[in-house]
Amino acid sequence: MNKWSTKKSVELFKIEKWGQGYFEVNTKGNLCVKPSPDSPYKVDLKRLIDELRSRKVQPPVLIRVMDILKDRLKLLSRSFNDSIKELGYKGKYFPLYPIKVNQQRTVVEAMLKYGQNVGLGLEAGSKAELLLVLALTENINTPIVCNGYKDEEFVELVGMAHKMGKKIIPVIENYSEVETFIRHYKKTGVMPNLGIRLKLFTKGAGQWASTGGESSKFGLRVPEVVNVIDRLAEEDLLNHLKLLHFHIGSQITDIKVVKNALTEASRVFIEMIKLGANLEYIDVGGGLGVDYDGSARETFSTINYTLQEYTNDVVYRIQQVCDQHGVPHPTIFSESGRFLAAHYSLLITNIQTTGGYELKAYTKGQISAESGPLKEMIDLRTGVTEENYLEAYHDAIQYRQEVRNLFNYGYVSLRDLAGSESLFSEIMEKILEVAEEMEETPEELWELQQSQVDTYFANFSLFQSLPDSWAIDQVFPIIPVHQLGQKPTRKAVLVDLTCDSDGKITDYIGDEEDNSFVHLHEVQPGDQYYVGIFMIGAYQETLGELHNLFGDTHSVQIEILGNDKYRLSNFTKGDSVKDVLGYVAYNAKELIGKMRAQIERAVERKKLTLDESAHLMDQYEEGMFGYTYFEE
Ligand SMILES: Cc1ncc(COP(=O)(O)O)c(C=O)c1O
């Protein structure tokens, strides 16, 4: 067998593919994070987690790598500007950060800071998001685009923001909104610039395909677009219609869809201008995908294009259609959220225990038999070879069944039955070891391969930290952050701390054949073994929920200053039990009071001694103010 190396781990875990140059393995076999792919600096994540523990910040902990956020924004702007230059496009490009992707204060404030020199704007999709965005855009020139449903109050707020001089463009998402704006104008004399969201015929590709296309929830179909134009013209307000918007869904997997959507939207743009609209902006929405699994398989977790290809296509298609009709090139906005935020945050969790397939320990030295199927299995355990592994497979299945039958007839003891089951596991493992060295695994063994996995209990909640893994089977890179110089010999399925049988990760970046498990190292009781869950910066941080009352994890922001030199800030303590109980309307003081009363009664009835009652009360209170996850 070839010697294992960190290089093999890099390949196995596809680190270079999904990691996009932000992650690499050092000579110690630890995973490191980098501020940007071309930076000479890196921070060893194992060392970071050890140092966090020294500060009493225990896993699970969410690590926010701010440099990555900055780098992604730079990449996006640079790529659009390169396309603009290369193609001789006359308009400008500005990125909009759609805050729905991650509304965390740390993220939005960082975006605004890093975005100053690229003219970054914000996109708000609800009233709450609008209120937040209005306060945060202290620079009056920051573009604001408002999507989502708009009631009278929303329209009024937008009107006032416009009066203040903010560059705000509300986008009409359904026909009735145009009437609300007209009513508001008639009442106040204020009409902001408007956008219109187009429902394209082009449908997206991938998990979010239904966000686009004719049956999508949002946007106006062509007849409605024409009606809006006529209606605004009737009120002599058509010169306020400045922006055409579309969004064909998040994580577009196929570049063809982008090309088609751009051609269709650009044609509508031109025709709207012909109808008298004074359009200056085209907003191409979100959808720019990221490669979560690096497999290039046809799944919605991966994409078939590069950033440059995407920006070239966007710019080229708009330019081509405008040039055909002699229309000036519009300013381009994009609302790429996932692309900007996905890579920047990761969760480090520790493995609590492993189980499931650890049956073989039982057999060590405890089992003997003179004859019969059990004896055959004992012999088989050391007799699996390249020549006979399939035969051994068939034999073992038969012997195990014979022992089970003998047990049912009363001829085999429970201890011997246990021995047979354990031996069987051990033999299967040997068979698989041999089979894996072969060029192709025989089909007969595929099922066996899938069943030979260990359950690794990880200290986190899937529902809180990785909701899309549960809700839509999205794949995220999950890999050990240390020991990468050693072969990960176990096939594992990660389960969380909730008591929900759905609290289990079923899809991994895997390989072409099987993505139902992740390769991990053997973990002995007492070992500290850390696993990182990566690319969770988009959508996961705020979609998470309180299943089984597991709350927010601890989180910390890191800026990389040099090799293993970093600045930590914005430590946010994860929810305590008191906090999560508060979310569901319980009062910690009241609960402590109720508990004390019950303990007092137990003392009265002499069920507890005074010392025991004091100890229990201490424990209860400590638990109430402690972390919702396992603590050491
Ligand atoms: C209107 C709109 N803009 C932008 C986005 C962000 O999309 P993405 O994260 O795929 O870039 C979304 C999300 O679905 C959206 O609905």
Q: Which of 149, 250, 333, 343 to mutate to test the pocket of ligand 1 (most atoms within 8 A of CB)?
A: 250
Continuous segment of H or E residues that includes residue 556: strand 554-562
**19 Cβ closer than 6 Å to some ligand 1 atom:** no
Predicted pLDDT at 364: 55
Which DSSP letter does residue 128 get? H
Q: What is the CATH number of the domain that holds 230?
A: 3.20.20.10
Q: What's the whole-number mean pLDDT along residues 395-399?
A: 96
202 lines ligand 1 (CB under 6 A): no
Asked whether 540 lines ligand 1 (CB < 6 A), one says no
Does residue 555 surpass a pLDDT of 70? yes
pLDDT at 339 over 80: yes
Look at residue 206 in the predicted model and tell me its pLDDT. Answer: 63
Residue 504 within any structural domain of the chain: no
Residue 261 lies in a domain: yes
State the DSSP string of 137-203. Answer: --STTS-EEE-S---HHHHHHHHHHHHHT--EEEEE-STHHHHHHHHHHHHHS----EEEEB--SS-
Q: Decide if pLDDT at 524 tops 90.
A: no
Find the radius of gyration of the CA atoms of the chain. 30
What angle (nearest 5°) sits at the alpha carbon of residue 87, between those of residues 83 and 89?
Answer: 90
With a 6 Å cutoff on the Cβ, whether 197 touches ligand 1 is no
Query: Is 358 a residue whose pLDDT tops 80?
Result: no
Mean pLDDT of the chain: 92
Complete DSSP assignment for 451-513: H--EEEEESS-HHHH-HHHHHH-----EEESS-TTS---EEEEEE-SSS-TT-B----S--SS
Distance between CA atoms of residues 569 and 549, nearest Å? 27
pLDDT tops 80 at residue 208: no
Decide if 18 is inside a domain.
yes
Distance CA 493, CA 518 (A): 6
Beta carbon of 285 within 6 Å of any ligand 1 atom: yes
Question: Is residue 368 pLDDT above 80, yes or no?
Answer: no
Q: Are residues 231 and 373 in the same domain?
A: no
Same domain, 46 and 174: no
* C-alpha span between 492 and 357 (Å, rounded): 10
Atom of ligand 1 nearest to the CA of 539: 9
Closest CA to 497 of 540, 535, 543, 553: 553
Q: Which of 314, 345, 376 is the last residue of a domain?
A: 345
**Cα(611)–Cα(614) distance, rounded to whole angstroms?**
5
Residue 204 Cα to ligand 1 middle (Å) = 12
351 belongs to a structural domain:
no
Vertex 534: Cα angle to 531 and 537 (nearest 5): 140
Domain termination residue (choose one: 345, 370, 385): 345
Residue ranges making up the domain that contains 14 = 6-55
116: which DSSP letter? G
Torsional sign, CA 318, 319, 325, 326: positive
Q: Is 247 in the pocket of ligand 1 (CB under 6 A)?
A: yes
Q: Is residue 505 part of a domain?
A: no
Whether the pLDDT of residue 294 is over 80: the answer is no
Cβ 220 under 6 angstroms from ligand 1: no
Q: Whose CA is nearest to atom 5 of ligand 1?
A: 286
Q: Which two tokens stand for residue 170?
A: 């509300």
371 with 338, same domain?
no
Last residue of a domain, one of 35, 55, 75: 55
Residues 267 and 331 grouped into a single domain: yes
Are 297 and 187 in the same domain? Answer: yes
Shared domain for 367 and 312, answered yes or no, is no
Confidence at 631, pLDDT banded by 50, 70, 90: confident
CB-ligand 1 contact for 288 (6 Å cutoff): yes
Structure confidence at residue 207 as a pLDDT band (50, 70, 90) = low
Q: Which of 311-315, 420-424, 469-473: highest mean pLDDT? A: 311-315
Q: Which of 406, 347, 350 is nearest to 375 (CA)?
A: 406
Q: Is the pLDDT of residue 361 over 60?
A: no
Could you tell me if 43 and 75 lie in one domain?
Answer: no
Does residue 124 sit in the same domain as residue 74?
Answer: yes
Verify whether ligand 1 is closer than 6 Å to residue 335 (CB atom). Answer: yes
Counting the structural domains of the chain, the total is 4
Scanning the structure block, which residue is given the tokens 């069987």?
A: 424
Residue 409: both structure tokens together: 């007839």
For ligand 1, say whether the CB of 334 is within 6 Å of any of its atoms: no
> Do 488 and 480 contact (CB within 8 A), yes or no?
yes
Q: Is the pLDDT of residue 388 over 60?
A: yes
Distance 211 CA to ligand 1 centre (A): 9
Does the pLDDT at position 296 exceed 70? no
Question: Is 332 found in the same domain as 226?
Answer: yes
Please indicate, yes or no, whether residues 75 and 182 belong to a single structural domain of this protein.
Answer: yes
Identify the residue whose tokens are 């695994």.
441
Residues 282 and 402 in one domain: no
What is the per-residue pLDDT across 223-239, written as a single tens digit (0 to 9) for each? 999 999 999 999 999 99
Helix (H) or strand (E) holding 418: helix 414-437
The atom of ligand 1 lying closest to the CA of 249 is 14
Q: What is the pLDDT of residues 570-604, one digit of tens each?
A: 999 999 999 999 999 999 999 999 999 999 999 99
Question: Is 213 in the same domain as 333?
Answer: yes
Query: Is 145 inside a domain boundary?
Result: yes
Ligand 1 geometric centre to CA of 94 (Å):
16
Distance between alpha carbon 596 and the CA centroid of its chain, in Å? Answer: 42
Residue 215 has pLDDT above 80, yes or no: no
DSSP 8-state class, residue 349: E
Within a domain: residue 518?
no
pLDDT digits (tens, 9 = 90+) for 84-136: 999 999 999 999 999 999 999 999 999 999 999 999 999 999 999 999 999 99
**Within a domain: residue 134?**
yes
In 3D space, the residue among 602, 582, 476 whose CA is nearest the CA of residue 539 turns out to be 476
On the CB side of 1, CA atoms within 13 Å amount to 10
Residue 1 pLDDT more than 70?
no
pLDDT computed for residue 630 by the predictor? 94
The confidence score (pLDDT) of residue 217 equals 67
